[in-house]
Structure 1
Amino acid sequence: MNLKRRAVAAAAVLAVASAGLLAVQATAEATQTAPPKRAAACPDLTVSRGWYGENKARLQHLIDAYGHCGDRSHKGGARPVATFDWDNTVIKNDVGDATMFWLLRHGKIRTPQRGDWHTTSRYLTDPAARALTKACPATGTTLPTHRNTARGTACADEILAVYSEGTTTSGEAAFDGFDHRRMEPQYAWLAQLTRGWSTHQVQRFAAAAREENLAAPIGTEQRVGTGEVTGWVRYYDQQRDLIRTLKKAGFDVYVVSASPEPVAEVWARGVGIDARHTIGIRNVTARGKLTAHLKGCGTVADGDDSMITYIDGKRCWINQEVYGVRGAAAEKVQPAAKRQVFAAGDSDTDISFLRDATGLRLVLNRNKNELMCRAYDNGDGRWLINPMFIEPKGEKADPYPCATTGYTDRDGGQGPVRRPDGSVIPDQHDTVFGAPPASATR
């Protein structure tokens, strides 16, 4: 072979080698920069409007990681758990309120046993019992709160004040002596006032209230007694989509509500959550009827009436009903393997079970002090804050009083909000607020 032909051959070999090297480099660079491919069967969130910042993307990442497509999925073991508060978290407004208003408007609250209002709550004060006795004389099986008469409206007004404001119509405290980290007696009182009805009957009442409130235009008010109260409720499309996607990915999804359980069950069906996955305030039953006593959790016995699904009570009920933890242990924080991966809430009533979540914690901002102090402090980077999807609150003018009065003690006193290490969370400014697009309000 002459020198010219050898030079041409060598150049050809060099060109092939160079092309091969470039191809290898290109493949390596593509491997480093291209995002991992997701299987077509991995479920996606489909509603984008209303989500703040990176919240939707972070929720999708959690679903991808812990769902059946992810490397953290519990293949062959326990399914990951997601827990949602209900009122003002999955829906806008309060289904307990909607039911109480319906009961008053239709005269479905029964006269208390022996005419003694103390039998409706162990925490009812003497002034409240006297005011209720005066406004609602025991002359029949049910109270005439549906009648447009002086007697009917006075009775409705007194019950509504005690339930909604925690005071009598004259301003005296209606409840006292309760543990503020385990019990909200106003919430419990609704469940206790369903005494004498069966679970099925209460579900029928709740279903009627649901139909009215979903049909009413946003902003509707209704008359109860002599006052005007909220008359509409809406499901959040974003939360319905999130629940659907979590379930499709293999999560066990629970509702944990401080509304009566029969009421929460009726509403939870609308997002595909069945009765077995709905936890609310549970009445003790007798001869097929609800009583004014409540089921207990942990060390609290049935009928003691001192703990409901409220703050630390929500933790207890999740531990007991979801993870099978009994006795005193149910009231304590469990190891990570026995805690929910995801939790969502909107109020201080949700703070304990939100803190227990090991993956992400979604907070809808309703300007609740302790909750927003912890969410904005975001010590472990797992808190997501989102404005409410319908009629969100604007910016809170003053900082949250985290360092002074943001925390409510068991006796009702106020103090600083502390981190797990005991350090005090400094006051926090409100930074996540504002209205989603108008289309998110329908």
Structure 2
Amino acid sequence: MSRSARLRTSAAVTAALALAATSLASATTAEAKPRDHRPPRPCPTLKVSEGWYGDNKARIDALVADHCRDKDSRAGKPVAVFDWDNTVIKNDVGDATFYWLLRNNRVRPPKGGDWSTTSRHLTPEAATALGEACPAGGRTLPTATDTRCADELLSVYGSGATTGGKTAFAGHDRRRTEPQYAWLAQLLRGWTTHQVESFAAAARAENLAAPQGATQRVGTARVTGWVRYYTQQRDLIRTLQDAGFDVWIVSASPEPVVDVWAKGVGVAPSHTLGIRNTTDHGRLTAHLKGCGSVRDGEDTTITYIDGKRCWINQEIFGVRGAAAERVQPASRRQVFAAGDSDTDISFLRDATGLRLALNRNKNELMCRAYENGDGRWIVNPMFIEPKQRKATPYPCATTGYTASDGTAEPVRRPDGSVIPDQTDRVH
């Protein structure tokens, strides 16, 4: 080998040894040093304190700390589910939309004037009353000026009775559906989802702009004309999302309507559950999507009491068939739930961490929340215009529970024992 070749070889060996030594030192240093010097991200807490009763804020903050996840993680997210009307907002977005429809001539008459086609639960007396009050022809009903028609529609929807006092709906399971709520979705038939969203957006703009306490005229009646988001609930939803919770809305209002409103608290349409219509050539029909053992078009289960449980199990946790109607193992249930009414009781009871009950003096809800058998209930007054203290105890031991057939019964614990009457304590 030539001298120059030997020199080149010696230099290469020296460089290789130096590189190996550097790599070994780097590896040793990497093993000795922690991978990340950053402190763990602190769990978020509620920013709004005003309006929370007692230690409710502290208990929610503790729940968030117990379940805090990286907000970008997709694995093992804890689930939180909120009712919408009078839980996240004050007043009812379904009502607000219905009033807007009547004031703006957006309800379509049924084909041939046969109102029985709008709901399988509508009584013959109600169908007759609607047929007599509302014209059969035209693309839409002239409810902005035809007060007789508007009054009949408003009475059937709002009170479940005709203006003449006849029962408007019958034959339904009281734990799975409320035909009055479903009827609003069914009256949207013939419109596209996009059109319904535009109606809801117009109603939303009017109701948010109106002063608190405002009313509006529909037909000959004065009805509520304002809606407000609860600042506390917007803060709570944002906090849960920042903590890595998968936050959902479940409502007994039509889903396209809830989609429009839920965006105002940062919940996307993909995370809202409401009454869902079937469609025909892109337009809503008077029939509804089913859940669990109920097929599409049977129109017997909506997001209402046990129906809310079914839709949560089916759409959030992926439980199919009749099993979606049953209580699931704790690992397949929401950690947190919030509601204000007996219509929310099933999905509230399913929550494994905390159950927030906003006090609207609803019998079964308040019986279970005040009895608080497992210590997971928290009760809070409504954040806007809270109810006054209920003067008499809730009738838990006698008539606080409404059975599937409408019978009033005692409210029972899981073991079958009766919950005693409860006094109203949080207001």
Q: Percent identity?
A: 71
Separation (CA, whole Å) in 2 of partners of 1:118 and 1:75 = 49
- How many matched pairs? 389
Secondary structure in 2 matching 1:114: helix
1:49 alignment counterpart: 50
Residue aligned with 1:280, SS = strand
Structure 1 segments, 4+ long, off by >3 Å, are 38-41, 73-77
1:231 CA displacement: 0.1
Select 1:79's aligned residue among 73, 77, 80: 77
SS of equivalent to 1:259: strand
Q: In 2 relative to 1, CA 329–119 (structure 1 residues): closer, same or farther, beyond 3 Å?
A: same
Correspondence for 1:407 among 401, 406, 418: 401
Q: Report what 1:124 is aligned to.
A: 122
The residue identity in structure 2 corresponding to 1:140 is: G
Task: Give the superposition deviation at 1:74.
Answer: 12
- How far off is 1:117 after superposition? 0.3
- Residue aligning to 1:188: 182
* Alignment map for 1:363-382 (pairs within 5 Å): 363-382=357-376
SS at match of 1:110: coil
| Residue 290 to residue 43, structure 1, CA distance change in 2 (3 Å) | same
Aligned-partner SS, 1:255: strand
Instruction: Find the partner of 1:222 among 211, 216, 223.
Output: 216
- Report the Cα offset of residue 41 of structure 1: 3.3
* Kept in 2: contact 1:66–1:74 (CA 8 A): no
- The 1-side partners of 2:73 and 2:132 are apart by 62
**Structure 2: runs of 5 or more not aligned:** 1-38
1:101 is matched with 99
Task: Check the 8 A contact 2:69/2:77 in 1, yes or no.
Answer: no
RMSD of aligned Cα (Å) = 1.3
- Which structure 1 segments of 5+ residues have no match? 1-37, 434-442
C-alpha distance in 2, partners of 1:225/1:261? 26
Deviations 1:306-338 (A, max 9, x none): 000000000000000000000010000000000
Q: Distance in 2 between matches of 1:119 and 1:146?
A: 23
Where does residue 329 of structure 2 map in the other structure?
A: 335
> Aligned partners of 2:100, 2:193: CA distance in 1, in Å?
16
Distance 1:342 1:218 in 2: 30
2:15 aligns to what? none
- Superposed displacement of residue 54, structure 1: 0.2
Query: Distance between the aligned counterparts of 2:158 and 2:74, measured in 1?
Result: 47
Measure the CA separation in 2 of the matches of 1:245 and 1:354.
20
Q: CA deviation at 1:77?
A: 3.2
Q: CA deviation at 1:76?
A: 7.3
Q: How does 1:166-181 map to 2 (within 5 A)?
A: 166-181=160-175
- The TM-score normalised by the length of structure 1 is 0.87
Secondary structure of 1:301's counterpart equals coil
For 1:407 and 1:76, locate their aligned partners in 2 and report how far apart those are by CA, in whole Å.
Answer: 39
Could you tell me how far apart the structure 2 residues matched to 1:411 and 1:323 are? 29
